[in-house]
């Protein structure tokens, strides 16, 4: 049990309990939904092919353009719109990371805006693959991408898919992202969050949502 002012309930309220493995079955999705209800987390994040699905009191979140972000913006928008029409309440889209590395920030803005316009006022989280941007472009690119995403209507900016070889969430990335978007846009940390200590660090750095596949192990480290 870690020493922190955060309670188990505090942290559960920030969690998107996630199942995005390519080999996941319908039974796996149903089990994830049941575990999310048992843990009392905020949302369940699934692949769009799992919809429609009843997530009960938890929000239904899906991904778009996942995991590469190399889909045409209109394809991402259509995927996101279809997901909303079949029950998604939140959409996590992936940007074209290569465009960001190239400094083509207008394209990043347009990509996000296209999805935003397709889904109306539904919660939109924009996955920037922060570890890859830090590795191949640097912190200024993380900052500019987050600013452009916010300008295009992102509800949150999100660190990672969890599938990129550069890695997942980091405290450095969350701090950069929080500084870039201020207090009006959320920051979701996702990818490689497996311990309560790391989860607490990310929240302390400014994360307002956590994407976790191993939610129970993390929550078990916090006192009631």
Enzyme catalytic residues = 92, 158, 188
Name the nearest CA neighbour of 15 among 45, 46, 41. Answer: 41
Asked if 66 and 47 count as a contact pair (C-beta separation under 8 A), the reply is yes
DSSP-derived secondary structure for 30-44: HHHHHHHHHHT-SEE
Name the nearest CA neighbour of 128 among 88, 170, 89. Answer: 170
3-class DSSP assignment, residue 19: strand
Please list the residues that pair with 212 across neighbouring strands: 17
Asked if 45 and 36 count as a contact pair (C-beta separation under 8 A), the reply is no
Both tokens assigned to 201: 């660090």
Backbone angles phi, psi at 131, to 5 degrees: -65, -40
Asked if 69 and 129 count as a contact pair (C-beta separation under 8 A), the reply is yes
């Amino acid at each position: 049990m870690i020493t922190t002012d955060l309670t188990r309930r505090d942290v559960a309220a920030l969690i998107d309990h996630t199942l995005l493995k390519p080999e996941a079955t319908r039974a796996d999705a149903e089990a994830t939904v049941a575990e999310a209800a048992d843990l009392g987390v905020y949302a369940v994040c699934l692949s769009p092919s799992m919809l429609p699905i009843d997530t009960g009191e938890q929000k239904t979140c899906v991904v778009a353009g996942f995991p590469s972000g190399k889909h045409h913006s209109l394809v991402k928008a259509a995927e996101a719109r279809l997901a909303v029409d079949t029950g998604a309440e939140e959409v996590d889209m992936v940007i074209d990371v290569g465009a960001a590395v190239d400094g083509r920030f207008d394209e990043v803005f347009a990509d996000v805006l296209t999805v935003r316009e397709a889904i109306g006022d539904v919660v939109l989280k924009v996955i920037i693959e922060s570890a890859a941007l830090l590795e191949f472009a640097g912190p200024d690119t993380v900052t500019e991408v987050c600013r452009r995403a916010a300008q295009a209507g992102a509800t949150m900016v999100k660190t990672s898919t969890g599938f990129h070889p550069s890695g997942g969430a980091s405290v450095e990335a969350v701090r950069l992202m929080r500084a870039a978007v201020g207090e009006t846009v959320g920051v979701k940390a996702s990818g490689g969050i497996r311990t309560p200590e790391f989860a607490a660090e990310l929240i302390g750095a400014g994360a307002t949502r956590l994407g976790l596949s191993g939610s129970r192990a993390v929550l078990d480290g916090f006192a009631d």
